[in-house]
Chains A and B, each alone.
Chain A
Amino acid sequence: MRKINTAIIEEKIYNLAMRSGVNLTPSCKAALKEACENESGAAKFALSTLLENSRIAVEENMPVCQDTGLAVVMLEIGQQVFLEGKPIGQAVNEGVRRAYRDGYFRKSVCDPITRENTSDNTPAVLHTEIVEGDKIAITFLPKGFGSENMSKMYMLKPSQGVDGIVEAIIETVRCAGSRPCPPVYVGVGIGGSFDYCAYLAKRALTREVGAHNPRKEIADIEKRALDGINKLEIGCQGFGGNTTALGVSCEYAPTHIAGLPVAVNIQCHCVRCEKEII
């Protein structure tokens, strides 16, 4: 048994949130750089503006994008951990609240009916998983909604198979067009139930851009889908070219014999994701 006070989690969330608002992940930055070298015209202008923007954000310590997102937090909690202190949800929200205030981040959370802003960017969306061990893995993903709005959920027929999965991914990006701030990063959930599939898609977005699923059949889906997406010629900001997506990342889970759920979660080119293990 290892005791961890939730005040430590609050502090970690605060630090991860502060960093993630300002910094693109290194793999995202590298992918943008590579895309910029390979494009021309208005798309190249947009990509070089984005690289310049990420430099300014770090230099000035200001949000890389004004949409500092809905805070998505994933905690993998080792079953030998004993949590003490304030309730974990409260600790996470307190970390978010302080970071969005001190970082001069935009408060983008509101009531879904009245649209009244909660004024402090809480509550965060908190996913917890109980795993082996005595550690806690924290992932902080500030999720912008220009891209979130373009995400789709498919309940395919089992007979549609791999081709159906690949087509669903490409179709989602095609429908999104220029609106989600391409080049996008595409997180895909395959299998599970309706709800778990969507979670897997979000989870897939926490993987480094360019890394593939260790299972070959899944990695092949990622490669085929990316290839198809980049033939759509939507390009950076919809200005054309060969870079509509920076990557496709899939996670999977066993599903029911009658179904094949596929969730496609779109992330804009501002991939911001910070992780820490305590």
Chain B
Amino acid sequence: MKKICLPLSKEDIKNLSAGDSVSLSGIILTARDCAHKRIFELLKNNEKLPFEIKDAVIYYAGPCPSKPDAASGSCGPTTSARMEGFAPTLLDLGLTAIIGKGEMNAEVQAALKRNTGVYFAAIGGAGALYGKAIKSCECIAFEDLLSEAVYRLEIKDFPVVVAYDCYGNSIY
């Protein structure tokens, strides 16, 4: 399994092929349905986003609450297809990678190709395992959205599979 430290460089991304198993460590941000809606309202009004999108990695996920002695609760991926209307714009704004589960449409694959981005599939349903791979979890935006808020996660040895690489290849 390849080991990668985030943030991803364009060189890192060019070395990834669909089907590769990769272990990620570093910083990622969660965002799912409601958070994307908020992000797009801000973009529409030309307002500043509450986090830097350039070179960021977005994880489509909404964690369980953390127990008092744990960094995070269970936190596996959610279905990426629901976010495919949002992903191309964010990739054009500098997002380097998406982590989610399941197929996304041709527009997303084209945006990954155009921006040298990558789509990682996390293993859907492995919430406990991913929760354990999260070393810190901090809410950085839209706190009122509870599990749908944006969380900044520090991850270590987080297993994923390259689903779409930057050359237009797919595991599906």
Contacts and interface: CB of A to CB of B under 8 A. Distances in A.
A106 B128 contact: no
Interface string A188-224: 0000000000000000000000000000000000000
A98 B47 CA distance: 40
B117 interface: no
A56 B126 CA distance: 10
A66 B131 contact: yes
Contact of A237 (B121, B132, B147): B121
Do most interface residues of chain A lie in helix, strand or loop, or is the interface mixed? loop
B126 A62 contact: no
Interface string A36-68: 000001100110011011101100101111111
Contacts of B111: none
A160 interface: no
A65 B74 contact: yes
A239 interface: yes
A181 B126 CA distance: 10
B128 A64 contact: yes
A57 B70 CA distance: 13
Nearest to B126: A53
A67 B161 contact: no
Nearest to A176: B102
Contacts, number: 142
A241 B78 CA distance: 22
B66 to A, nearest CB: 7
B103 A238 contact: yes
Interface string A58-101: 00101111111000000000000000000000000000000000
Query: Chain B at the A interface: mostly helix, strand, loop or mixed?
Result: loop
Contact of B159 (A49, A68, A178): A49
B85 interface: no
Contacts of B70: 62
Nearest to B148: A117
Interface size class of chain B, counting residues whose CB lies under 8 Å from the partner chain: 35 or more
A42 B19 contact: yes
B21 interface: yes
Contacts of A169: none
B132 A56 contact: yes
B128 A57 contact: yes
Contacts of A105: 64-65
B67 to A, nearest CB: 5
Chain B CB count within 10 A is highest, among A50, A52, A115, A179, for A179
Contacts of B159: 45, 49
A19 interface: no
A154 interface: no
Contacts of B33: 115
B102 to A, nearest CB: 4
Interface string B58-73: 0001111111001001
B124 A181 contact: yes
A179 B131 CA distance: 21
13 contacts: A49-B159, A57-B127, A63-B127, A66-B131, A67-B78, A105-B64, A105-B65, A117-B145, A178-B101, A179-B79, A181-B101, A238-B171, A268-B125
Interface of A: 41-42, 45-46, 49-50, 52-54, 56-57, 60, 62-68, 104-108, 115, 117, 119, 146, 149, 177-181, 237-240, 268-270
